[in-house]
Amino acid sequence: MSKLGLSELQANAILDLRLYQLTGLERDKVENEYLALIKLINYLRDLLANERKLFGVIKEDLLELKKTYQDERRTDIVPDEGELDVEDLIADQGCVITISHTGYIKRVPVSTYRQQKRGGKGVVGMDTKDEDYVENVFTASTHDTLLFFTKKGRVYWKKVYEVPEGGRTARGKAMVNLLDVGADERVAALISVREFAETQHLVMATEHGTVKKTNLSEFRNVRAGGIIGIAIEEDDRLIGVKLTGGGDDVMLITRQGMSIRFNEAQLRDQGRDTIGVKGITLDKDDRVESVVVVDANATLLVATENGYGKRTGFDEYRRQSRGGKGVITIKTSERNGNVVGAHAVRETDALMLITSGGQMIRSAVNDLRVISRNTQGVRLINLAAGDKLVSATTVEPEDDLPAAGIAEPNTPPATSSDTGE
């Protein structure tokens, strides 16, 4: 009795019970458990059949959890230090992204192209098939994100290291095999960014002189199939995109040598799927060739299709209201031909020139002296008969001398025909 905690009276009462009475007590217990289970089953079946009741129970449970465990998390959920991303295995280094006229792309280390003197013949930068030529060259770092803007205004997203690497003379990979682009789409501009900051903007320009500004954060989530970056009219096309800080001056340079400078404050931020506003009034048969962000520590370099070009200080271009006709930036004479490219360059930059025959020459920008705005310029590259300059862009400077086996050409003296002054 002491072990069970029973008194003598209680023990005697239990001993006086008949066996059937004890069995009845256990039967009542089993019946009660059975009825409780039947009740629970009916409740659960009703709950599963009624979605509203089910969500109500979930809500009550979550509110109870919130009430009970609403204090701040005491541990941080972080990636395992032992985990490795693909990007961690790739060196962060500079490279040149090359795109051909028919849509072949490749990535080449910057060191592949040795610096030469102005006026040289250059080396072959890409093997091209018949009727193809190198059209665009961009520099980036392997860990950057590339935004591909097509001439129809769509945007595609790729990491630089995902672009296939090739040798100096390799053709590269077809763009349609790298991006989900249509057969009739061609890349008009590449923007390399580290992060999509809301303090930065993208200024876009079309061939017919339309410009548009959009916040960079709008392009944070690009789908594999691309998104609309700018709405393009049927007979127009995108020619350039520039990254700006919100208060920069922008210049549009046309094929016939005209240019206009205005502050981007004249452009309000617009959504991605919009057309934009007028940036410059064009003469008949003229079109916008380049868009440039003004840099007070740089000069404007303009190159023409016959291999001539020049550098001019930005202070020679006064700020105007958006939509005007602009001023002359280079004379597009018979000797020069039309403008094929314009860039803001610094003394320490190098210049990469690409011809329709696939020839490339890399030379120092400081080999080209600064001259006035309304002049014809000097020779940038010696072109073979029938060859034309199709692109000129800036690349990282190189301190090394030309590699063995690549002869360093003599620089011809400047003559009156070269300077055009």
Strands (E), 164-200: 173-174, 187-193
CA neighbor of 295 nearest in space, from 279, 312, 314: 314
Assign 21 a pLDDT band (cuts: 50, 70, 90).
Answer: low
Percent of the chain with pLDDT over 90: 30
Q: pLDDT tens digits, residue range 175-199?
A: 778 887 777 778 888 888 888 888 9
Assign 132 a pLDDT band (cuts: 50, 70, 90).
Answer: low
Which burial class, exposed, middle or buried, applies to 196 when counting CB atoms under 10 A from its CB (0-12, 13-18, 19+)? Answer: middle
Output the DSSP codes for 81-139.
Answer: TT---GGGGS---EEEEEEETTSEEEEEEGGGS--B-TT---EE-----TT--EEEEEE
Percent of the chain with pLDDT over 70: 82
Work out the average pLDDT over 99-110: 79
In this predicted structure, the answer to whether residue 334 has a pLDDT above a threshold of 90 is no
Chain-wide mean pLDDT for the chain? Answer: 80
In this predicted structure, the answer to whether residue 162 has a pLDDT above a threshold of 90 is no
HSE of 128, CA atoms in CB hemisphere, 13 A: 24
Helix then strand count (H, E) for the chain reads 5, 24
In this predicted structure, the answer to whether residue 404 has a pLDDT above a threshold of 60 is no
Provide the whole-model pTM: 0.64
In this predicted structure, the answer to whether residue 323 has a pLDDT above a threshold of 60 is yes
Q: How many CB atoms lie within 10 A of CB 65?
A: 10
Structure confidence at residue 92 (pLDDT): 81
Query: Beta strand pairing status for 327-328 and 308-313?
Result: unpaired
In this predicted structure, the answer to whether residue 120 has a pLDDT above a threshold of 70 is no
- Residue 284 CB partners (closer than 8 Å, separation 6+): none
Q: pLDDT tens digits, residue range 69-102?
A: 877 777 777 766 666 667 777 878 888 888 776 7
Give the bridge partners for 361, in sequence order: 353
Q: pLDDT tens digits, residue range 218-277?
A: 988 777 778 899 999 888 999 999 999 989 999 999 999 999 999 999 999 998 889 999
